[in-house]
């Protein structure tokens, strides 16, 4: 361990109970099924994560966010939850969960879990009870059931299209229909029902009592709906103002009544539990409501995911978001990759129109491309430069497993091995927003070793096929290479603890428009050359560089300067 690491750990220990730990945390997202497989069934598990806590500690992150690990039929990779207060037997047990939390806390890593409140799995006991109890029952009242149109009710209540393509209504045996914003297996809850609200409060308490430090709230903007007797058409819905606060389906003002109750619960803990909203809303003012201190406290900002590798776009996004954070009192969040998006090394290796989307709102969800279209080295070079730009910013950084290895998206997965409903429901029609290869390519199990079954992911195979090129990106290979992306992340995450200070930055004007230079209040400086040509190197003590530097700052390179 370097002396830098020692300094960091002392600081972290002394602020263990600090209520503001989340404000500038580096949060590492683990997609449990694809992280590490302890028992050899091809699916990652909690024991696998526990066994890798030393890896996470050495990486230097402040918290992990666990994507769903609850019992699930896996119709949507676990975002179809059958029981909110248990662990999927393929992933482990509650005792394994407690063991994992203990191990992470002992390593000074906080734990954030994913909460999926808009919909359950159709396997959830409540949905099964709703099917059994029949129309008009209290059990059906927990979900959104409607009679169909047409003489015999044989037509769906409206022509709405699900987020994954295909109809948003499915008919049940007695002829009624239920609403599912996502896959058929994900019935939407009725958040007007007090019972639903109380049950989620019980779920949050359940995990908070087990020592969870915070929650990531799935599609936080969708919970509360106001459906009139006469439903508008999809075209009418699309034409409505999504920022009005009274849209029938999304981002309604009254959804914040739910989060006010959640906040009261979070604040009853010491330290208060934190939350971050995944809210796809139409403008910064609407997003700020989720980030408010009387609500969830923080909201994802996906703006950089939709940006090209471009200085002007990056600067405008950073400036806007820091101004917003000032207004809400929350801290800004920064994200390049997650389990829903094409990995950023790949996005930056594709021609701009393919790599970053132009479709408002869903731009960052554009899927991967065949490998031959990809500038593999260039994509990774730009991703390293962009990530080191991001890690210097004030606010919290959300990192996605595998990006620390510089992994590219896996573009080639046979159709019969694909799992993503967004792909399977849309692949033939290419309708709606998921018009590419879906999200499986960023969910392929991690390569820990350069050879062996499933590259060390587990003792046997992996639930999604890993390509041969994973060998060179394995933890084993990169650990041994001082210039690897893994060692770059380790160094940056270590230095970041000293770089972070007051949540501000000052832009330093540069002579070249493609170069961005900012200074933090404690004197640390970050300089990124977004252009292809080398430029003059700024004066100062370089402590980190994404490419070898001489007396010039090469193209597509970031350097950190310490005071």
Residues of this chain that bind ligand GLC (CB under 6 A) = 76, 79, 116, 182, 218-219, 278, 339-340
Active site residue 278: yes
Sequence-distant contacts of 292-296: CB under 8 A, at least 24 apart: 292/256, 292/328, 292/329, 292/330, 293/263, 293/328, 293/329, 293/330, 294/260, 294/263, 295/256, 295/259, 295/260, 295/262, 295/263, 296/217, 296/220, 296/259, 296/262, 296/263
Burial class (CB in 10 A: 0-12, 13-18, 19+), 149: middle
Q: What are the φ and ψ backbone dihedral angles of 255, each rounded to 5 degrees?
A: -65, -25
Nearer to ligand GLC, 425 or 520 (CB): 425
Give SS3 for 318: helix
In the block, tokens 């933090």 appear at 520
Tell me 402's DSSP state: T
Using alpha carbons, list the distances in angstroms from residue 314 to 333, 367, 384.
14, 21, 15
Give the torsion through C-alpha atoms of 385, 389, 395, 399, to 10 deg. 0
Residue 506, helix vs strand vs coil: strand
CA distance 339 to 464: 14
Distance, CA of 211 to CA of 65 (rounded, Å): 14
What tokens appear for 466 in the block? Answer: 């890993």
In the complex, least distance from residue 296 CB atom to ligand GLC, rounded to whole angstroms: 15
- Annotated active-site residue 199? The verdict is no
Query: Residue 207 Cβ, how far from ligand GLC at the closest point, in Å?
Result: 18
**The token pair that represents 490 in the structure block:** 């380790």
Which position has the token pair 């799935």? 218
Task: Note the Cα 294 to chain centre separation in Å.
Answer: 23
Rounded distance between C-alpha atoms, residue 367 and residue 374, angstroms: 13
Residue of 171, 172, 199, 167 lying closest to 183 (CA atoms): 167
Q: Which of 88, 96, 199, 218 is catalytic?
A: 218
Determine the Cα–Cα distance for residues 427 and 439; give it in Å rounded to an integer.
12
Residue whose entry in the numeric block shows the structure tokens 């999200």: 439
Tokens encoding 450: 């350069």
Annotated catalytic residue within 278, 340, 403, 556: 278
Q: Which is nearer to ligand GLC, 219 or 544 (CB)?
A: 219
What single string gives the DSSP state of each residue in 310-359? -HHHHHHHHHHHHHHHHHHSS--EEES--TTS--HHHHTTS-HHHHS--S
Residue 404, classed as helix, strand or coil, is helix
Q: How far is the CB of 341 from ligand GLC (least distance, A)?
A: 9
The least CB distance from residue 447 to ligand GLC, in Å, is 22
Residue placing its CB nearer to ligand GLC in the complex, 219 or 250: 219
Catalytic residues, by residue number, are: 218, 278
């Amino acid at each position: 361990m370097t002396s830098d690491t020692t300094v960091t750990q002392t600081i972290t220990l002394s602020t263990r109970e600090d209520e503001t730990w989340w404000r500038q945390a580096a949060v590492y997202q683990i997609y449990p099924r694809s992280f590490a497989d302890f028992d050899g069934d091809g699916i990652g598990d909690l024991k696998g994560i526990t066994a890798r806590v030393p890896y996470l500690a050495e990486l230097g992150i402040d918290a992990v966010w666990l994507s769903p690990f609850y019992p699930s039929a896996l119709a949507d990779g676990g975002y179809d939850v059958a029981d909110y207060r248990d662990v999927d037997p393929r992933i482990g047990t509650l005792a394994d969960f407690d063991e994992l939390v203990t191990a992470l806390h002992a390593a000074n890593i906080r734990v954030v879990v994913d909460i999926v409140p808009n919909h359950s799995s159709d396997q959830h006991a409540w949905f099964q009870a709703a099917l059994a109890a029949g129309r008009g029952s209290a059990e059906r009242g927990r979900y959104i059931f409607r009679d169909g149109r047409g003489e015999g009710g044989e037509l769906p209540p409206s022509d709405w299209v699900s987020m994954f393509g295909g109809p948003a209504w499915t008919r049940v045996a007695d002829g009624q229909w239920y609403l599912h914003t996502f896959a058929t297996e994900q019935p939407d809850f009725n958040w007007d029902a007090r019972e639903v609200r109380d049950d989620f409060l019980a779920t949050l308490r359940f995990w908070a009592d087990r020592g969870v430090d915070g929650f990531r709230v799935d599609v936080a903007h969708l919970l509360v709906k106001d459906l009139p007797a006469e439903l508008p058409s999809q075209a009418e819905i699309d034409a409505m103002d999504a920022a009005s606060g009274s849209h029938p389906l999304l981002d309604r003002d009254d959804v914040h009544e739910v989060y006010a109750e959640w906040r009261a619960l979070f604040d009853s803990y010491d330290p208060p539990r934190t939350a971050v909203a995944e809210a796809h809303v139409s403008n910064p003012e609407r997003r700020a409501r989720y980030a408010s201190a009387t609500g969830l406290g923080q909201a994802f900002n996906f703006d950089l995911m939709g940006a090209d590798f471009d200085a002007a776009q990056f600067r405008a996004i950073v400036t806007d978001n820091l101004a917003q954070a000032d207004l809400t009192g929350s801290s800004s969040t920064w994200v390049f990759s997650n389990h829903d998006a094409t990995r950023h090394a790949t996005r930056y290796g594709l021609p701009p129109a393919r790599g970053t989307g132009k479709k408002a709102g869903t731009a960052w969800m554009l899927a991967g491309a065949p490998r031959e279209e990809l500038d593999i080295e260039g994509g990774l070079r730009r991703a390293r430069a962009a990530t080191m730009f991001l890690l210097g910013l004030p606010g919290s950084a959300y990192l996605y497993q595998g990006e620390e290895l510089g992994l590219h998206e896996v573009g080639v997965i046979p159709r019969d091995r694909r799992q993503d409903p967004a792909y399977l429901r849309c692949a033939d029609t290419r309708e709606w927003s998921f018009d590419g290869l879906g999200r499986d390519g960023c969910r392929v199990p991690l390569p820990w070793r350069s050879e062996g079954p499933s590259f060390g992911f587990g003792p046997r195979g992996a639930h999604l096929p890993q390509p041969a090129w994973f060998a060179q990106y394995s933890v084993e290979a990169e650990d041994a290479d001082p210039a690897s992306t893994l060692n770059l992340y380790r160094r940056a995450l270590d230095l970041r603890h000293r770089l972070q200070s007051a949540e501000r930055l000052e832009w330093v004007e540069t002579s070249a428009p493609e170069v961005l230079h900012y200074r933090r209040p404690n004197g640390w400086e970050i300089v990124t050359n977004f252009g292809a040509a080398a430029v003059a190197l700024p004066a100062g003590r370089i402590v980190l560089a994404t490419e070898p530097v001489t007396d010039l700052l090469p193209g597509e390179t970031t350097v950190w300067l310490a005071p």
